[in-house]
Chains A and B, each alone.
Chain A
Amino acid sequence: DTGVSQDPRHKITKRGQNVTFRCDPISEHNRLYWYRQTLGQGPEFLTYFQNEAQLEKSRLLSDRFSAERPKGSFSTLEIQRTEQGDSAMYLCASSSGQGPHEKLFFGSGTQLSVL
C-alpha cells in the first residue's frame, strides 16, 4: 500500500495559464475524490469518480474546472485560465468503493499559487 500520490507538490503559475494536477489513488481503490482547501478552512468537496465514471461534478467551482479518470486508475484535475482566487491546496482522496460511506485516504496535496 503506497498511499495516495499527488503530483506536483507545488505549482506556481501566472494568472490566465492552464494547470493540470495528477492523482494516483491507492491501487485497489475504486473511488477517487477531489477537494480544495483554502487557508484556515477544512477541505471542500469538488468531484468524485467511481472507476472511470464521474458521478458528481455539480460542485466543481466553475466551468474552468474539469477532471478526468480515463482508465479508472489515475485522475487529473485541470484548471483553465487560472485566477488568483484559485490559489489553494488541491487534495485527492480515495476509498475502496465497497460501500456508500467508508474511510477516506488523502494524498499530500498540490499547493497552487496563482500570481
Chain B
Amino acid sequence: GIQVEQSPPDLILQEGANSTLRCNFSDSVNNLQWFHQNPWGQLINLFYIPSGTKQNGRLSATTVATERYSLLYISSSQTTDSGVYFCAGGYNNNDMRFGAGTRLTVKP
C-alpha cells in the first residue's frame, strides 16, 4: 500500500508565525486530503486537493502530483490552530492511507 510520510512530526510556534507542513507519498495518488484533529479528537476536513493550489482563509495547500508531495501553509497562526494535522491519500476513499501527523502547538 501507499506509504505516507509527514514532516515535521512536531512543531512549536509563537502566535502570529507562519508554518509549512509537508506530506510525501510513496506512489501517485488521485485522492489527497488534509485534516486537522483538534484537542478533543474531532477531525476536520481542511482540503480535498489531489493537485493544484487551494486557499481557505489563513490556510492554503499545494499538491504537486507529479512529484508526490503536498504542502499545507498556515499563516498568522493562532492558538486555535493547535492540534494534529494529517494528510491522507489513495486512489479512492476506501483505500486512503493517513500519515502519522504533525503535532502543532501555537503559544500565545
User: Which residues of A does B touch, CB under 8 Å?
Assistant: 31, 33, 40-45, 48, 55-56, 89, 91, 93, 95, 100-106, 108-109, 111
Contact = CB atoms under 8 A, between A and B. Distances in A.
Given A42-B86, A111-B41, A104 B93 contact: yes
Interface of B: 4, 30-31, 33, 35, 40-45, 48, 50, 86, 88, 90-101
Given A89-B41, A103-B48, A105-B45, A42 B100 contact: yes
A48 B99 CA distance: 20
Contact of B100 (A41, A95, A100, A111): A41
Contacts, number: 66
Interface core residue of B43, B44, B45, B96 (most chain A CB under 10 Å): B43
Nearest to A105: B45
19 contacts: A31-B93, A42-B4, A43-B88, A43-B98, A45-B94, A48-B93, A55-B94, A56-B94, A100-B91, A101-B48, A101-B50, A101-B90, A101-B92, A101-B93, A104-B33, A104-B93, A106-B44, A106-B45, A108-B40
A101 B88 contact: no
A56 B92 CA distance: 12
Contacts of B97: 42, 45
Nearest first, the 3 closest Cβ-Cβ pairs linking A and B are A42-B98, A101-B31, A106-B43
A33 B101 CA distance: 20
Contacts of A44: 98
A102 B30 CA distance: 10
Interface core residue of A45, A48, A56 (most chain B CB under 10 Å): A45
Contacts of A42: 4, 86, 88, 97-101
Given A40-B100, A43-B98, A100-B31, 18 more contacts: A41-B101, A42-B97, A42-B98, A43-B88, A45-B97, A48-B94, A101-B31, A101-B50, A101-B93, A102-B93, A103-B45, A103-B48, A104-B96, A106-B35, A106-B42, A106-B45, A108-B41, A111-B41
